[in-house]
Homo-oligomer: A and B are copies of this chain.
Amino acid sequence: LKRVVVDAFGGDNAPVDIIAGCAMALSEISDLYLILTGDEERIEQELKKHTGIDRNRVEVRHAPDVITNNEHPVNAVRRKKESSLVKALEAVANKDADVFVSAGSTGAVLAGATFIVRRIKGIKRPALAPVLPTKKDHDVILIDCGANVDMKPANLQQFAVMGAAYAERIMGIKNPRVGLLNNGAEAEKGCELTKEAYKLLQETPVNFTGNCEGRDILSGDFDVVVSDGFAGNVALKTIEGTAMMVMSVMKRELMGGIASRIGALLARGAFKRIKAKMDYSSHGGALLLGIDGGIIKAHGSSDAKAFAAALHQAVKFIDGDVVNIIRQSIESMAMPEES
């Protein structure tokens, strides 16, 4: 059985949509075993709504408390021992589950995973890696998107190794192309950090194919884009903002005349598909890599379908043995101690 623990009370649509997503995934994945944490009574109530759930593959662990987006992540994780998030992460730390999935506060997931589950030996900084759509028909991983700021080149090197392991083991990409997010395509471009990282990546056992400019992230020319968390976070949110902006301008323009209104009506199937493609929550959650267990942060606004997609990702994470692959890669690289 693939053992996954879910924070049933994390996310804007928790627990209703979270549990609906769990029900979907349970019916789709026959060897999925779920531990759900949160208010037991409420969870049972929601589970009852879904017929045909194999209760032998669902375990509920009571946790009366909830950590919200408005709390200071570190303090909340330290104080709220009875929260659904802390209880769920403890299940990973205790090896009751291999992967944790939550649509809750990103900050609390990062803090909790680091304190409770802890990092893989040798990993200096874990990294948050969302999956993004590209112009072509495969996705790209952007690593790191905000778990860390003020990085050293060796941290970026570890991100490359972790991102490549993810692309290879979960996305099934052989010899994934790794790019370095930079302010120019030429090798000599960059800030102090990226110039040093460039040199390090050339000596790293990954398929490093050079610098990736902002405009190339979604080009499909890279499978993994490595960045410090600051620039990666800016890029990720800029993608989100730009897509939203284009969509909103489109909507306004299309409503501006009779012909274009009819046109929009005729093309509404196409628009739906565009929206689905741009909606990165449907591509699964963001992985927090470098932790000694699987940590998947689903989008805060995940609906049942998006959450089920994150659970599929969790199973692939287990099948791909990603934690051990990263552990072995890092061991074999013998990172310098000071980084």
Contact residues of A with B, CB < 8 Å? Answer: 133-135, 146, 149-150, 181, 183-184, 190-192, 194, 213-219, 229-231, 233-250, 253-254, 256-257, 259-260, 262-271, 273-274, 277-278
Report Cα–Cα, A214/B134, bound state, in Å. Answer: 19
Assess the A260–B253 pair: CB atoms within 8 A.
no
Contacts A249-B278, A269-B260: A190 and B234 contacting too (C-beta < 8 A)?
A: no
* Copies assembled: 2
Q: How far is the CB of A74 from chain B (nearest CB, A)?
A: 12
Cβ contact within 8 Å between A246 and B214: no
A146 → chain B, closest Cβ, in Å?
A: 6
Residues of B within 8 A of A248 (CB): 135
Known contacts A181-B234, A236-B214: A263-B253 contact under CB 8 Å = no
The SS class assigned to the A binding surface is: helix
Are B238 and A183 neighbours in the complex by a CB distance under 8 Å?
no
List of B residues within 8 angstroms of A246 by Cβ: 242-243, 246-247, 274, 278
Q: Which residues of B contact A237 (CB under 8 A)?
A: 213-216
* CB-contact partner of A150 in B191, B229, B236, B267, under 8 A: B191
A185, B237: Cα distance in complex, Å: 12
Q: Which residue of B lies closest to A192 (CB)?
A: B150
Residue of B nearest to A229 (CB): B183
Give Cα distance in the complex from A167 to B231, angstroms: 25
In Å, the complex CA distance between A265 and B219 comes to: 26
A270 touches B253 (CB 8 A): yes
Minimum CB distance partner of A266 in chain B: B263
Measured between alpha carbons, how far is A241 from B236 in the docked complex, in Å?
Answer: 12
B253 touches A274 (CB 8 A): yes
Q: How far is the CB of A193 from chain B (nearest CB, A)?
A: 8
With A194-B230, A246-B247 given, name 19 new contacts (CB 8 A). Answer: A146-B183, A150-B191, A150-B192, A213-B241, A214-B234, A214-B238, A215-B244, A216-B241, A217-B238, A234-B234, A234-B235, A238-B238, A238-B242, A242-B242, A242-B243, A246-B246, A249-B277, A257-B270, A259-B266
